Amino acid sequence: MLAKRIIPCLDVAGGRVVKGVHFEGLRDAGDPVELASLYEEQGADEIVFLDIVASVEERDTLVELVRRTSERVFVPFTVGGGIRTAEDMGRVLAAGADKVSINTRALREPELINTTAQAFGSQCVVVAVDAKRTDTGWQVFSHGGRVPTSRDAIEWMREVVDRGAGELLVTSIDADGTKRGYDVALLRAISSWAPVPLIASGGAGGLEDFRQALEEGGADAALAASLFHYGTFTVADVKRYLRENAVHVRPVHE
């Protein structure tokens, strides 16, 4: 049985890690290089680095920051934000990322998923989906959760998997930053059919939230930001709780 993964997320704006509620009201949470190194020491299985304003500002990901971070971190490392072409993805991978996450550009140009999966392999292509609950399901938002689209989230995820995405990073906009728990219903609606790994994002506030996302929601990994950044729990705390509750995770060496 594959171990469930715990993944700290570094949302970066202006070269600093930030965190807000519902993608708004951003506050400084520290230096990304130092935080990434700290989380690796705590037992993080992976790190996700998202330049959350790159798509809004129409600029490239901070490749130099990616390079500096990758020099200090030796667990798998995913980078996203402002990826517009296969060449952009190639530069980020060359800077040290193991995987690249695309979101807004994939919605505009779905063929980018096919192109990058063919060029670098599906294992390098993570499609991030920001989903908000509606009366009938979930709707996809773009530009860091700021702009609504007409796409149904589940239908969009089926399409991106068909196009070659190797992993889904799904954030509940309703739950993001609230610390009230992941959207388990959304996760279950995806994990019931998805043939690729699912990363749950948005809403972690307590240790039990992780267990619910991984066990009841069927996610393969759980991503969190604020509760790690502000010291509520460490990655090791989360893993100890999960092991105590019969969830298979990699051990923490302390």
Q: How confident is the model at residue 58 (pLDDT cuts 50, 70, 90)?
A: very low
Place 60 in a pLDDT band, splitting at 50, 70 and 90. Answer: low
Spatial contact of 183 and 202, defined as CB atoms under 8 Å apart: yes
DSSP string spanning 162-207? HHT--EEEEEETTTTTT-S---HHHHHHHHTT-SS-EEEES---SH
Helix, strand, coil % (nearest 5) of the chain? Answer: 35, 30, 35
Pair 113, 168: CB distance under 8 Å: no
Assess contact for 132 and 147: CB atoms under 8 A. no
Q: Is the pLDDT of residue 15 over 70?
A: yes
For the segment 232-242, what is each residue's pLDDT rounded down to a tens digit?
Answer: 999 999 999 99
pLDDT at 56: 52
Q: How confident is the model at residue 70 (pLDDT cuts 50, 70, 90)?
A: confident
Question: Percent of the chain at pLDDT above 90?
Answer: 67
Range of the domain at 89: 5-244
Residue 252 lies in a domain: no
Q: Is the four-CA dihedral 43, 50, 101, 205 of positive or negative sign?
A: positive
**For residue 226, what pLDDT is reported?**
80
Q: How confident is the model at residue 51 (pLDDT cuts 50, 70, 90)?
A: confident
Q: Is residue 61 assigned to a domain?
A: yes
Give yes or no for residue 59 having a pLDDT over 60: no
Residue 166 lies in a domain: yes
Q: Is residue 250 part of a domain?
A: no
The Cα-based distances of 226 to 16, 48, 155 in angstroms read: 14, 13, 30
Residues involved in catalysis: 11, 130
Q: Is residue 39 part of a domain?
A: yes
Non-local CB neighbours of 62 within 8 Å, separated by 6+ positions: 12, 15, 51, 54
> For residue range 84-111, what is the model confidence (pLDDT) as tens digits?
899 999 999 999 999 999 998 999 999 9
Does residue 254 form part of some domain? no
Q: What is the CATH number of the domain that holds 195?
A: 3.20.20.70
Reported pTM: 0.91
What average pLDDT is seen over the chain? 90
pLDDT tens profile 210-254: 999 999 999 999 999 888 888 899 999 999 999 999 999 998 865
How many structural domains compose the chain? 1
Residue 251 within any structural domain of the chain: no
Q: Is residue 249 part of a domain?
A: no
